[in-house]
Each structure stands twice: as structure tokens, then as C-alpha cells.
Amino acid sequence: MSSKYLAMVSPEQWGDVDPRSRTILDEAGIDVIRNTHRRLLVETEMKELIKGCNVAISGAEPMTAAVMDQAPDLKFVARCAVGLDSMDLMAARERGIGVSYVPGANAQAVAELTISHILTLIRGVQRGDALLRKGEWFRMMGRNLDELTIGIIGVGKIGKRVARHLAAFGAKIIANDLAPDEDFGAPLRIDWVSKDRLFKDADVVCLHVPKAPSTLNLVGREQLAMMKDGAFLINTARGGLIDEAALADALRSGKIAGAGLDVFGQEPYQGELAGIENILMTCHMGANTRSSRARMEIQAAECLIAYIRSEPIPNLVPDSEYELQVQMKALR
């Protein structure tokens, strides 16, 4: 089989946490070309890496039409990722390239990072740390979760986990979703509300929605103005959901007490938010726990093996994702 399949594997951490993802490919006799840069690749590097490959495993690296054109025999891409922003799905479809992904594989990890951001912000942990490092002993005055109302926009795989964690802390939860799951919400006493009501009533607003035409700049100046004075905003979902310039103004003015962002409109991020004190920023690391990373890699490897063996492929990207990407491109 090694003479038949040559796979590009572009995720830089592939097999570092759990070698099973490598073993699966080795045992199937697949020849592998690895990303040896130990970092996220840019398009020009992807174009070089993929040459001669007929299958691939990719992550957050740009899998563009130009990259695919460097591998005329490419027939299948297994995404080691939940999101599809960096994959040109229509270019893949036009070239007859199948695509799979790993939805839900990182849900617990992202939910836990969300809780970490919330706790860090409401207790002033990052501010206390910064002051102590400067030689100032100042005991921050924070708030308990059980005295707060947390608003969750998007109650899917991740949003539900966030809600369960928050309920265990005794927080009051209000939520907004296109299809409220009443059976899920009832035991947690979730109050399903409109987006406007959520922005007005929540002490902390958490975003857990996909990037879509309807969610671009979901939180802009109007929504920030609605929020309580001293409220907090968390986004561990997708960049582009928040008007970052408007958020910067709200943070500087003190309208918003703090924000926790793991994702940004442009990544790696180097914008004005980096110069603002009352914001907690992480580098799109929501999925980066050992178990989550291993799960994503193993599932991606299994999808690739299923393709090679002509078996049913788990988690093929649904048509709705292709249609969504077309809509997003129309807005640019």
C-alpha cells in the first residue's frame, strides 16, 4: 500500500501527545510527509509540502485552491479540526476531493477553557498576577459565580458542557439558541431568552456559535451598549463574532469590565486589544488538551483509513457546511 498512498500530514503536533495517530497510518502502510517546522504552516509552505500527495491530513493550516492545485492526484483530506474556516470546501468539491472533519472532538476542552476564562476574569486573577510581578501586593476584589447571571449564546455540544459546569457552581444561566433544547435546560433551570434580553441581563456573556453570515459581528457597538456596566464577554468560539474595535472602546471606557478571547478575526493576533489591560487573551488553544488533541488526531487518522479501504467514512463534511462557506464568501 505504501506505493499507492502518500499522505501530507500538516498539523505540527501530530502524534506528540499520543503516538496512536502515527501508528494507525504506519500500520496501514501509508507513506507520510510531515510538517517539520514545529509551527503552523503558511500557504507557500503548504504548497511545497503537499506536492506528490494523493491524500492528506490537515488542521488549521490554509488548505486553499492554490495548495490543492500543487497535488493534482489529491483525492481526500481528513481534517484534524472541528472548524472548516481554513479549508476551501468549494475548491475541494470542484476537484473531486472528499473532506472529513472531527465535530465535537474538542468540546470538553473548549468548555473548560471557557470556564477558566470566566473564573480568571471575575476574580481578577490576571490583574493580580501582573501587579504582584511589579512588586505590588494588592488583593483583588472579585465576585462569586453563584451571584452571577451567565448568558450563553449557542447551546450546542460546547455550550451544553459550559452550562453544566456553570450550574455546578450555582450560577444562574440564561441562554439563546435557534432551537432551544428544553429537555436539556429544564434540570439546569436554564431560562431561554432573546439575544437582546441576554445582552441586557447577563453579567457574563459567552459565545458558542459557528461563524456564519448571521453571526458575523454578533457583538457590535449596539450589543455592547446593551450590556450591564461592568459585565464580561467571553469568546472561545470563532473570530469574527465580535467587532474588535468596538470591544476595544468598551474596554477602555470601562463599560465592559473585562473580556476573555481565545479567537480573533485575524490570527496570529497583533491588534489593538493586545495593549489593553482588562482583557485575557489566549492563542486559539481551546482544543489543546492532551485528551482532546489525541482524540482529534485519532479520529482524523481513522477517517483517512476508512477512505483508503473504501469503507463508510465517519464525519464527512455535510452539504450545509459547503453552502455556509459559499454564503461567507459572498459577504467578502
- What dihedral do alpha carbons 313, 319, 325, 327 form, nearest 10°? 180
Q: Are strands 55-58 and 279-281 parallel, antiparallel or unpaired?
A: unpaired
Secondary-structure percent of the chain, ordered helix, strand, coil, rounded to 5: 40, 15, 45
Which amino acid would we find at residue 220? G
User: What is the Cα–Cα distance from 133 to 222, expressed in whole angstroms?
Assistant: 37
- Cα 54 to chain centroid, rounded: 28
Query: Widest CA span of the chain, in angstroms?
Result: 65
- 62, 42 Cβ separation under 8 angstroms: yes
Q: Residue 235: exposed, middle, or buried by beta-carbon count in 10 A (0-12, 13-18, 19+)?
A: buried
Query: Cell digits for 231?
Result: 459585565
Active site residues: 238, 267, 284
User: Whose CA is closest to 325, among 87, 153, 50, 96?
Assistant: 87
- 321, 84 Cβ separation under 8 angstroms: yes
Count of CB atoms situated within 10 Å of the CB of 262: 23
Helical (H) or strand (E) element with 67: helix 65-68
